[in-house]
Amino acid sequence: MSATLPVPNRDAKPRSKPDVAIQSSQSFLVRHSALVRLTHWLTALAFFALLVTGGEIILSHPRFYWGETGNVNMQPWLNLHLPSSRDTVPTGYGYVLPDQNGWSRYLHFEAAWLLVATGLLYVIWGLFHGHFRRNVFPARSDLSPANLGSSVLSHLRFERPGGDEAWSYNVLQRVAYLIVIFVLFPLMIWTGLAMSFAFDAAFPATVTLLGGHQTARSLHFLVTILLVLFVMVHVFMIVFAGFRTRMRAMIAGRVVPPKD
Amino acid sequence: MTEITRRKLITSGLAAAAGAAGVAFAAKLAQGHGLIPPDAGVRYGTGEALTYAAQRVLGSNANAREFSLAQISTNPFANEVDPLGDEFKRLQDGGFADWRLTVDGMAAHPTTFSLAQIKSFPSSSQITMIGCEEGWTYIAKWSGVPLWYILDRVGASPQTRYVVYRSFQHDWWESIDMADALHPQTLLATGMNGSDLPVPFGGPLRLRVPRQLGYKNIKYLTQMTLTDNPKPFGKGGTGGFASDFGYAWYAGI
């Protein structure tokens, strides 16, 4: 059995004092709690389903408009120039893709329910359990221009993270996660609901505050792009920082303590 | 350590059992309140059932958004329609004088109405948006007799839970629940933007259900049947042509 283990201390700043668990003779540090791991992978599953089906739904009308109305008789602000699954859309392609909107719409909304339920569980638990306070909200000192600047620089230099980052998020990570959790996902849900005619009947401000049905659809698409960019950087950083340790931390919850 | 594990195990077990019982109870309750859509059992139908139940609980009486005259689309899109055939041409040439709408099923007085009769009933107008599941929209002024008036006139049975409706294009049929059937904005539309409803937009008669997508707003309406169960209609047992074809029965989202 190895040397000294860090002493668990919930009052201390947990970035440097992670919880410790002991199982048989092996020692490890709990990096991610079971609830974080569960909600992370449920979110990943739901996001993947939403992305695939959302992309499929776009193929039936790969054009975007501002305001309330938009159709093939109107000028889009964005035309994706993709082949379409409808022959009513002028695409410039000589063929029409098979219509897959039926199951895509069913699955899109089912995955949305999973995402919303998972997100609510995560956020409510995170607020009550101190997860955000301890692990996600950046410390005030971390937000000083000097600290932010040095973190940005080290990222720009592609410096590999030090050992301490194996059980804590750095300040840029924290800011990115906060934006994704509290800005982008809520925006996705809002713009998605705004496209529902029955939901808008009950809560008209959902769509009028955004500026119209087609604006909601355009924003839903734009925020998707931001989320896809986040996922790309997220996955890149995991590979870059150490795929095995980061995946073990998010699947089994453990990181092996560094040998001092 | 073991004790905590056991306690955790028992707590989680109890929580899971309570959760399962809760879900079963909620499903039973939902069934009793008519909150389970006819296609709840299809693949991914659970999400559909949740959406339908949630939207019915949150606002089954809410009105679809209405717009100003200035917001009416100058370039609405009619969508494509399969060829309507010689019989339709004959009716059209006769100014649709021979167009009939039959309302039957769970009604005290099943009736066949002529288009002229329908147009003589108290008319209602609304400037609302219609949207396709593909994502496009337009706004128009729709006018016609509210469906509730017709249901009242034929003496709809209080046991009626769904209205099944069929198009002149016989494959096209759908059903809606009473929350939509009795909704003041649900119209048998005969007019659009101040004139007769043009044929490409569903003239002479289209069901306008503004809280649901275009595919529930069936064109060329010829028949309505009041029922307590839409599943026996059609081949797929899901309550509509679109849902038999793989699209959700409820199209409020």
What pLDDT, on the 0 to 100 scale, is given for residue B30?
84
Q: What is the mean pLDDT of chain B?
A: 94
Separation CA B207–CA B202 (nearest Å)? 9
pTM: 0.90
CB proximity B59 to A under 8 Å: yes
B38, two tokens:
């006819």
CB–CB of B37/B48 below 8 Å?
yes
* CB-based contact A61 B134, cutoff 8 Å: yes
How far CA A53 is from CA of A85, A109, A178, A186, B8, in Å, comes to 13, 9, 26, 19, 38
Angle between helices A213-251 and A185-194 (to 10 degrees): 140
Looking at residue B234, the DSSP 8-state letter turns out to be S
CB proximity B166 to A under 8 Å: no
CB–CB of B207/B189 below 8 Å?
yes
CB proximity B67 to A under 8 Å: yes
Q: Which of A19-23, B73-77, B78-82 has the highest mean pLDDT?
A: B73-77
Strands B221-227 and B100-105, by their bridges, are: parallel
Full pLDDT tens readout for chain A, 260 residues: 344 444 443 343 444 444 444 444 456 678 899 999 999 999 999 999 999 999 999 999 999 999 999 999 999 999 999 999 999 999 999 999 999 999 999 999 999 999 999 999 999 999 999 999 988 999 888 888 898 998 999 999 988 887 777 778 889 999 999 999 999 999 999 999 999 999 999 999 999 999 999 999 999 999 999 999 999 999 999 999 889 989 999 999 887 765 54
Separation CA A175–CA A155 (nearest Å)? 14
Q: Which of A28-37, B23-32, B162-171 has the highest mean pLDDT?
A: B162-171
Q: Determine the residue of chain A that is closest to B54 in CA distance.
A: A199
Residues from chain B that touch A86, judged by Cβ atoms under 8 A, are 134
Separation CA A207–CA A185 (nearest Å)? 17
What pLDDT, on the 0 to 100 scale, is given for residue B182?
97
What pLDDT, on the 0 to 100 scale, is given for residue A30?
81
CB proximity B112 to A under 8 Å: no
What pLDDT, on the 0 to 100 scale, is given for residue A259?
55
B196, two tokens:
């007769």
What pLDDT, on the 0 to 100 scale, is given for residue A258?
58
pLDDT band for position B145 (50/70/90)? Answer: very high
How far CA A39 is from CA of A46, A110, A159, in Å, comes to 10, 16, 29
Separation CA B67–CA A223 (nearest Å)? 27
Q: What is the mean pLDDT of residues B23-47?
A: 89
Separation CA B241–CA B253 (nearest Å)? 18
Q: Determine the residue of chain A that is closest to B2 in CA distance.
A: A23
CB–CB of A82/A62 below 8 Å?
yes
How far CA A182 is from CA of A120, B185, B195, in Å, comes to 11, 37, 49
Residues from chain B that touch A109, judged by Cβ atoms under 8 A, are 44, 47-48, 51, 248, 253
CB–CB of B168/B88 below 8 Å?
yes
CB proximity B106 to A under 8 Å: no
Separation CA B140–CA A222 (nearest Å)? 28
What pLDDT, on the 0 to 100 scale, is given for residue A12?
38
Going B25 to B30 to B32 to B33, the CA torsion angle's sign is positive
pLDDT band for position B24 (50/70/90)? Answer: confident
CA angle, residues B93, B95, B81, in degrees to nearest 5: 70
> CB count, 10 Å around CB of B225?
21
CB–CB of A29/A4 below 8 Å?
no
* CB-based contact A68 B129, cutoff 8 Å: yes
Peptide bond between residue B204 and the one before it cis (omega within 30 degrees of 0): yes
A130, two tokens:
């101190």
Q: Determine the residue of chain A that is closest to B56 in CA distance.
A: A198
pLDDT digits (tens, 9 = 90+) for B229-241: 999 998 889 999 9
CB–CB of A191/A218 below 8 Å?
no
What pLDDT, on the 0 to 100 scale, is given for residue B20?
86
Separation CA B222–CA B199 (nearest Å)? 14
Distance from CA of B152 to the nearest CA of A (A): 24
pLDDT cut 90: percent of chain B above it = 83
* CA B178 to centroid of chain Cα atoms: 9
- Residues with Cβ within 8 Å of A152's Cβ and at least 6 positions away in sequence, in order, are A172
Separation CA B99–CA B112 (nearest Å)? 10
Separation CA A142–CA A153 (nearest Å)? 14
CB–CB of A173/B187 below 8 Å?
no
Separation CA B123–CA B104 (nearest Å)? 22
How many angstroms separate the most distant Cα atoms in chain B? 86
* Predicted complex: ipTM over 0.90: yes
Residues from chain B that touch A66, judged by Cβ atoms under 8 A, are none
Separation CA A16–CA A27 (nearest Å)? 17
What pLDDT, on the 0 to 100 scale, is given for residue A257?
63
- Chain A with chain B: Cβ pairs closer than 8 A: 132
Q: What is the mean pLDDT of residues B59-72?
A: 95
* A116: amino acid identity, one letter: V
* CB-based contact B129 A102, cutoff 8 Å: no
What pLDDT, on the 0 to 100 scale, is given for residue B18?
87
